[in-house]
Homo-oligomer: A and B are copies of this chain.
Amino acid sequence: MPERKGQYTVTLSSRPTILGYAAVAGKKEGEGPLGRYFDTIFEDTTLGEKTWEKAESALQREVFTRAMNKAQLSPSQINYIFSGDLLNQNIASTFGIREFGVPLLGQFGACSTMAQTLALAAIFVDSGAADLCCAMTSSHFCTAERQFRFPLEYGGQRPQTSQWTATAAGAAVVGMGGGGIRIAEVCIGKIMDMGITDANNMGAAMAPAAADTLTSFFQDTATGPENYDLIVTGDLSAVGCDLLRELMNRQGIDLGTRHTDCGLLMYDREKQDVHAGGSGCGCSASILCSYLLGKMERKELNNILFVGTGALMSPTSSQQGESIPGIAHLVHLVTQ
């Protein structure tokens, strides 16, 4: 049963279990440092579909199917899918999971969606509202470029602060009981807006939200970075990570060597020309649902904080002169 702890944190007293997880990614991600951890690499990022949007839906379909197989469950056993993506009106999710006949709670958290969906799935299972849920999300480089920036053919130049949207998806099935990885606590974030207007510097827009949620969680639980094996942010990438450390240092909290970031893990920044690093809902989702959960399964990590970070803007809001609000959601994962 969920219980509130402090001002922002929820403890999940029954500690729901991750019964299965899967990640799929594209060619560039497959060539990155974590390529071998993904369940499937799609060399052809159309996945045989006629449009990039349908390709992203196919990523969701593929990762959901694999997660079901690994959890040894069928879709009809799942009470709820929590999914979302970056596309207008969440069409990647809708059309990707349409055929499975599972009740859907569509989410929007931008690149924080994996953490958001996982937190909701955990609360639902811990509360008894559900026996089995699937938390999932996706992103695709080509759908994101078309929607947020320019068509690829335009050949626009990308500044050094920009990030590369990952073509990737991740899914985790949450239920009760059994051994394995457990969800102990969640901390949902509030919108943080420091007035960043540069849509090519998402890391700076999201870092204050990550700092705020982490600080809230540490205060609520009376813990600090030293109590965890690893603190993994979603996709702050190079600029955002530097800013996060600075913001935490100002609070007297030193993340030390225990912090890493999925945007920095996804690509080899020297060889793969991704500038500041990776981004997109699928970046943190695929890395969580392969590399990180795999390490936990092998007990190489036993106690981690997964902090998804999102930039809640659209091209329209930026064009209207608005700043870029950030949000960050935290999930505390343990192996017992």
Interface residues, chain A, CB within 8 Å of chain B? 1-4, 8, 10, 50-51, 53-54, 79-80, 84, 86-91, 94-95, 97-98, 101-110, 116, 120, 123-124, 126-131, 188-191, 193, 312-317, 320, 322, 325, 327
Complex contact A90–B129 (CB within 8 A):
no
Complex contact A88–B123 (CB within 8 A):
no
7 chain-A/chain-B pairs, Cβ below 8 angstroms: A1-B128, A4-B79, A89-B317, A97-B191, A104-B327, A105-B120, A126-B127
> Nearest B residue to A112 by beta-carbon distance?
B106
Complex contact A129–B2 (CB within 8 A):
yes
Complex contact B109–A314 (CB within 8 A):
no
CA distance in complex: A130, B312 (Å): 24
B residues in contact with A116, CB < 8 Å: 105-106
B residues in contact with A98, CB < 8 Å: 191, 193, 325
B residues in contact with A106, CB < 8 Å: 107-109, 116, 312
Given A95-B317, A128-B127, CB of A89 within 8 Å of CB of B110: yes
Q: Work out how many copies of this chain go into the complex.
A: 2
CA distance in complex: A127, B11 (Å): 12
Complex contact B53–A317 (CB within 8 A):
yes
Residue of B2, B89, B107, B193 touching A88 (CB-CB under 8 A): B89
Given A106-B107, A127-B123, A327-B104, CB of A188 within 8 Å of CB of B2: no
Residue of B2, B104, B109, B190 touching A128 (CB-CB under 8 A): B2
Q: A2-B127, A89-B110, A105-B120 provided; 14 other pairs, C-beta below 8 A?
A: A1-B128, A4-B130, A84-B108, A87-B314, A88-B314, A89-B314, A91-B313, A91-B317, A91-B322, A94-B191, A94-B325, A103-B188, A104-B327, A127-B128
* Min C-beta distance of A143 to chain B, whole Å: 9
* Min C-beta distance of A37 to chain B, whole Å: 29
Residue of B51, B131, B322 touching A4 (CB-CB under 8 A): B131
Residue of B79, B86, B95, B102 touching A322 (CB-CB under 8 A): B95
CA distance in complex: A322, B53 (Å): 11
Complex contact A312–B89 (CB within 8 A):
yes
* Min C-beta distance of A51 to chain B, whole Å: 5
Complex contact B4–A190 (CB within 8 A):
no
Complex contact B84–A314 (CB within 8 A):
no
CA distance in complex: A120, B104 (Å): 12
CA distance in complex: A325, B314 (Å): 24
B residues in contact with A104, CB < 8 Å: 188-191, 327
Most chain B beta-carbon contacts within 10 A, residue among A51, A107, A315, A316: A316
Complex contact A312–B103 (CB within 8 A):
no
